[in-house]
Amino acid sequence: MKFKSDFVTNSSCASFIIEKSKLSELQIFMIKNHLKVTRLFKGLKTLEEMRENDCEDSSGWMIEDVDGKITGDTSMDNFDMLWFLKEIGIDENDMEYRGCY
């Protein structure tokens, strides 16, 4: 599996909704912790390495676990969430993803 090594630099808004029944517990954990998971995939294993390679403390994404769904919303998209969701094995047909540019 290949992982992107940087963050998206363009600004845009986006949102997604995924039924939890379509996700594994691991995928739910990875979505909720998407920045930490991406840093680990980049090989940044220590806190110092993560801090040195941190372009922001937050990706700008608000992730919620409500009513049997995992949702995400951002008005300043600095993390390529669609790429991330695909990389952790979520089928595009199982998600509702909207973006504005």
Here the CATH number for the domain that contains residue 23 is: 3.30.70
Structural domain total, the chain = 1
d(CA 78, CA 14): 10
Task: Indicate whether 5 belongs to any domain.
Answer: no
Torsions phi, psi for 14 (to 5 deg): -160, 160
Share of residues in the chain with pLDDT > 70 (%):
69
Task: Indicate whether 21 belongs to any domain.
Answer: yes
Q: How many CB atoms lie within 10 A of CB 2?
A: 6
Task: Write the pLDDT tens digit of every residue in 48-64.
Answer: 665 565 545 567 889 99
Q: What is the pLDDT of residue 69?
A: 96
Task: Indicate whether 95 belongs to any domain.
Answer: yes
Task: Write the pLDDT tens digit of every residue in 1-30.
Answer: 444 444 444 556 889 999 999 999 999 998
Does residue 99 register a pLDDT over 80?
Answer: no
> Domain range for residue 35?
13-100
Task: Indicate whether 35 belongs to any domain.
Answer: yes
31 vs 4, which has greater pLDDT?
31
Task: Indicate whether 28 belongs to any domain.
Answer: yes
